[in-house]
Structure 1
């Protein structure tokens, strides 16, 4: 072959090969893909495939996607494409039982009318005159039931598979979980005085009611409703012996309980309302179940969350040991309840769960503090202590504390004499079948303010409680899917640097306050004896006061230097990261290319020679 024809012919063959491979891939390999993302966000899990395989009746998924209206929004456009691709994966895995249809609801079209009638949420355009856009899903089955996802928010893109699988599972199995709730917290739920229906106040409760029928029991309840799947007891007011007996009989019958008993509810103290302490509300029940909730509060210095505080009259950020975040290392990764929660759990002023070692119950720790903890009186913990105050009271226990546990087994009644209101009636004395209780020594973790931030969820509190409900009701498939949500990637070095600097600031603050107290005491002593002093002693006293003031000013200057050092250290580290990304990586690529080029040059000379 002539050398001049080789290059054009090779190029033509490569183009032909590319076209053939591309055509074959589109025709026969459209459902094949390799998901190289760390969290496998572009594939579906084995649990989702199992849900789709178990479908008994055909379903139709109508995806309302405004193509033109969302074309100028790159985030919404990319999310819409991902939703479309994910639904195609679902359809392929369903064996033909799930059909996907895409609709484009243009402005003032019949398709837009159908979207509004179905209950989809319009997305307003960037300008007042822009038509609204839609990105939602309507699921239908042959039985005539519909389920609507009004908006598929890109902010919740990490939960897309869970949201889709939960909706399909809910449509396939319409029977809803029944939850009974006993609580004294007005910031959790409220009961409509006219209809008597339970209305959610906390966002977490609203999410429970999306998939379950929740009933808040009246303060004077006398029995647990029949067919209750899960009984939630969250910081109740003191219960009567008759009410305690009703709970006792429910548990002995094999009932499931989700329990929140807080020795010092910070949300209740700060104006949320409800009982501040509930460790004694259940009377003899918790000891009969084999555990206790201590009345003291646990503070954790290693896991402390940063809060705004006052240092020398100026606003500053400092770690507050009374409010802390339990990281994944403090969660039981072997238990389905707490596995796969990468953002950790936010906790405030919790109490310790103590195993009593009696009965046949098995207690498994779910949440554990660090070893840098201390105990505080519950009343003092709710007195508005600053981080500096907590540090002054610190007496390290040097041991990790259990603040949430899962208890399974069989129990004997806490009321051997029977119903206190009717001792002659029959009652259950021992467990008919094994029961299960999940207990938390904190109730503030349910509050919106503890885990929700301006950009959404800052911790996995809501996922943790939903995991509890799924485990207690046996819905473990959805639990596994929810655990596939994206893992956050915090700047660990930056956070450690900031936390260390905040600790240094607190130490400087303590020294400053001590010196201020000494100076004020000296000043008071000088003023008290002012009448008895001569001119020389007054001059010496004035000189002493000036020295104390100079010392205070010098300490304030050192404190400002520490604060400025924090900013400089963090800024310097960020500049280093920017430099690495902007210069080092391209330099490494260039260096590798140069090495490859130099190694290939002798070979070329040898061939041509």
Structure 2
């Protein structure tokens, strides 16, 4: 046998032995790992794949087991199939973290008739038709892709459209991923557990007793209020039975001069009068004391019943206990479309689409949402915890009065009151001024929304329609152009990071600056929320907003306040005044007595409403849809901050921000490119040198072996 054949045989034997040893080691390593608990390491900056502390605290606070049922069909759309293992992994991790307080099961309704009946009949889960196309088959398949979170008889259902996010790809395909499963499950757990609690548990969760103090002049009450004392007594006794020693009620008789002086000194209580109809003074006041917090109850109202008093007390207590659902009242403008558009919709038998529907839908996932008519004689309902007023236009005096009295009752108010409205119809864009009707009322607190537009060099691109002539005819395309009226608020522009949490940017569109000069004796503090960048300026000519061309002024650029919060006590704009007249349908207008001072509460003023508009969000969606998502998340965080409920702020916008790469200078780009080329070349040269060196050593070794064998002969 020649030397070459012998070398080849030895090399083959060594290679086979190496492969066999590596294979055996891999098998042994896998067997060993099978006995070890899996360990994961989350290397992402925001810990996106780890259970957040807020979710841990929520799950650990559960008193009983919450069950999550996943309804997933084995035969489903190929884009959805990879998501099911991800959901199962997340549920397994949440169950482990909860210590047995969260259980889950995965069910295929298509393979279990009883499970399908329960899914459709009890929880309202429906299958969704998906189109399938492959080299083996083409057709429609009805598949289940849903989650149900249940606690007792309460449940929350998520369909596939609630769980996934779809993003178009440049090649025409789409990327389907889970939206934010941890947050969806956490908010569902909070919602079902809160809905299951009764009045007794509400008082049990209070960390201190509640005391209701009423100041009522029984002998001098007007006839219209004669039944109120009995209503208060009935409501108070019912709550005392359920709350035990957690609730106490005391009525003070102001006919005693000492009592009258004491309540006036403690709460600033002053008697009411009915004006021209009856000038006799009387007291009809209620105060709910919770520790050092005091909230005034409205008792001087027409038709007050025991249910009204009880609901007002419970609504106040729910605001004090974390974890209970918050009721958000929405005030939205009527659809404002051109006459020709309204005519077309009428001919088609369709209603005008609402402009802030996406916000309402998002809020309904976490809060109880109800629409509020500020102009109604009844005003804002007592169960509304936070009132969100979107783009108020020419509010009547009665509507402003109802807003004022809601604030005086301790209600929280968020005003999205821009001075300009963007009109987006077809390919046209115009900006028109808006009169809010709130100038005098806001001026009473030292707040003014300027009648001008804020422009910023740090902005979002605007899609511009462009028509191009081609050999095949006219083709409409879109070009992106920097547009200073679409302000990108980020970094130091988001002043309150505890509100923004993980929201990295907020878009303010055609906004107006907010100026605050509070009175010297103001009982509230000013908290800045959003500011434009240092390269921003103002322009009071809205017609220039129709053009995308701009130049940053050499002088006059500075940050402008875009959103502000006022926290503290407020004096009513109707203090010492007669309330506005009610509608003609109301028979007794004299029975209304304005509240003159609020308890501790909050008022937020944002010089913009377009940043929450569905129309604007759809227009800018193809450019950067995350701006609208971030705007909605920031608004939800703001509502939680208004109620001091920060439990889920950190995970709502988790992973939702666009993580842009920092722009490199040309010199740095060239240096990085040169390093890549040189590093690749040096690596190849080093590998070639090592390979040649090893070949030479191998050749020398075999030469020595051949010489030795030759000498042995």
* Alignment partners' CA distance in 1, 2:624 and 2:125: 24
Matched residue SS, 1:126: strand
- Match in the other structure for 1:249: 405
CA 1:88/1:331 → structure 2, altered by over 3 Å: closer, same or farther? farther
Classify 1:301/1:180 alpha carbon distance in 2 versus 1 (closer, same or farther; 3 Å).
same
Match of 1:607 in 2: none
Aligned to 1:64, the other structure's residue is in SS state strand
- 2:130–2:140 CA contact under 8 A, matched in 1: yes
Instruction: Give the deviation of 1:132 after TM superposition.
Output: 2.8
Post-superposition Cα deviations, 1:239-279, rounded to whole Å, max 9, x if no partner, equal: 33333222222213321111111111114899999x95456
Q: Is 2:172 the counterpart of 1:163?
A: no
Q: Give the CA deviation at 1:403.
A: 0.8
Match of 2:158 in 1: 149
Is the Cα contact below 8 Å between 1:120 and 1:148 reproduced in 2?
A: no
Contact kept, 8 Å, 1:63 with 1:102, in 2: the verdict is yes
Of 74, 81, 84, the residue aligned with 1:77 is 81
Distance change >3 Å, CA 454–CA 298, structure 1 → 2: closer
Would you say 1:417 and 2:423 are equivalent positions? Answer: no
**Are the counterparts in 2 of residues 322 and 348 from structure 1 also a CA contact under 8 Å?**
no
- 2:445 aligns to what? 289
Offset at residue 42 of structure 1 (A): 2.4
2:512, 2:608 within 8 Å by CA — same for their partners in 1? yes
Structure 2 segments unaligned to the other structure (5+ residues): 1-12, 167-176, 196-323, 338-352, 470-475, 581-588, 699-713
1:426-480 C-alpha deviation (Å, 9 max, x unpaired): 4332222x21122210111111233341488331111111111222233311111
- For structure 1, the residue ranges without an aligned partner over 5 or more in a row are 189-197, 498-572, 605-609
Alignment RMSD (CA, Å):
4.5
CA contact (8 A) 1:39 1:487 kept: no
Distance 2:595 2:689 in 1: 81
Aligned with 1:450 (options 613, 616, 626): 616
Separation (CA, whole Å) in 2 of partners of 1:29 and 1:257: 51
Maintained 8 Å contact 1:233/1:259: yes
Mean Cα displacement is larger for which, 397-406 or 356-365? 356-365
Decide which structure has greater strand share: 2
What is the CA–CA distance in structure 2 between the aligned matches of 1:69 and 1:585, rounded to whole Å?
A: 47
Q: Does 1:356 align with 2:524?
A: no
> Relative to structure 1, is the Cα distance of residues 279 and 470 closer, same or farther in structure 2, using a 3 angstrom cutoff?
farther
CA contact (8 A) 1:185 1:235 kept: no
Q: Which moved more, 1:445-454 or 1:54-63?
A: 445-454
**Equivalent residue in structure 2 for 1:131, among 130, 137, 141:** 141
Residue in structure 2 matched with residue 37 of structure 1 by the alignment = 44
Structure 2 residue aligned with 1:119: 125
Q: Quickly say closer, same or farther: Cα 1:266–1:489, change in 2 above 3 A.
A: same
Q: State how 1:242-391 maps to structure 2 within 5 Å.
A: 242-267=398-423, 277-278=433-434, 280-308=436-464, 317=479, 319=481, 321-332=483-494, 334-342=496-504, 344-358=505-519, 359-377=522-540, 380-382=541-543, 385-388=546-549, 390-391=550-551
Tell me how far apart the structure 2 counterparts of residues 205 and 596 of structure 1 sit (CA, whole Å): 67
Question: Match of 1:63?
Answer: 70
User: Are 2:414 and 2:605, in contact at CA under 8 Å, matched by a contact in 1?
Assistant: yes
- Report the secondary structure of 1:67's partner residue: coil
Cα 1:218/1:406, change in 2 over 3 Å: closer
Q: 1:219 to 1:250 in 2, by over 3 A?
A: closer
Query: TM-score, normalized by length of structure 2?
Result: 0.61
CA spacing shift, 1:185–1:291, aligned 2, 3 Å:
same
Counterpart CA distance in 2 for 1:455 and 1:115 is: 39
Change (3 A) 1:206 1:316: closer
* Alpha-carbon shift at residue 164 of structure 1 (Å): 1.7
Cα distance in 2 between the residues matched to 1:579 and 1:121: 52
Does the Cα contact within 8 Å between 2:421 and 2:432 map onto a contact in 1?
yes
Alignment partners' CA distance in 1, 2:107 and 2:623:
30
Contact 1:451–1:461 (8 Å) recurs in 2: no
CA change 1:115–1:442 in 2 (3 A) is same
CA contact (8 A) 1:261 1:278 kept: no
- Greater helix share, structure number: 1
Aligned to 1:515: none
* Residue 192 (structure 1) aligns with: none
Change in 2 beyond 3 A, CA 1:488/1:28: same
* Per-residue Cα deviation, 1:344-394 (whole angstroms, up to 9, x for no partner): 2222211101111432322222221122233222xx315763123x55x96
Q: Deviations over 1:491-524 (max 9, x none)?
A: 5539x99xxxxxxxxxxxxxxxxxxxxxxxxxxx
| Equivalent pair of 2:412/2:602 in contact (CA under 8 Å) | yes
The Cα of 1:295 is off from its aligned counterpart by 0.9
Counterpart contact for 1:303–1:325, Cα < 8 Å: yes
CA distance in 2, matches of 1:304, 1:272: 19
CA contact (8 A) 2:325 2:368 kept: yes
Where in structure 2 are the equivalents of 1:405-484 lying within 5 Å?
405-421=564-580, 426-432=593-599, 434-452=600-618, 453-454=621-622, 457-459=625-627, 460-484=630-654
Max radius of gyration: which structure?
A: 2
**Whole-Å separation in 2 of the counterparts to 1:104 and 1:148:** 16
Distance 1:84 1:588 in 2: 46
For residue 27 of structure 1, report the CA deviation from its aligned partner. 4.5
Deviation at 1:587, TM superposition (A): 5.9
Mapped contact 2:489–2:508 kept (Cα < 8 A): no
TM norm structure 1: 0.70
Instruction: Measure the CA separation in 2 of the matches of 1:126 and 1:348.
Output: 41
Three-state SS of the structure 2 residue aligned to 1:266 is strand
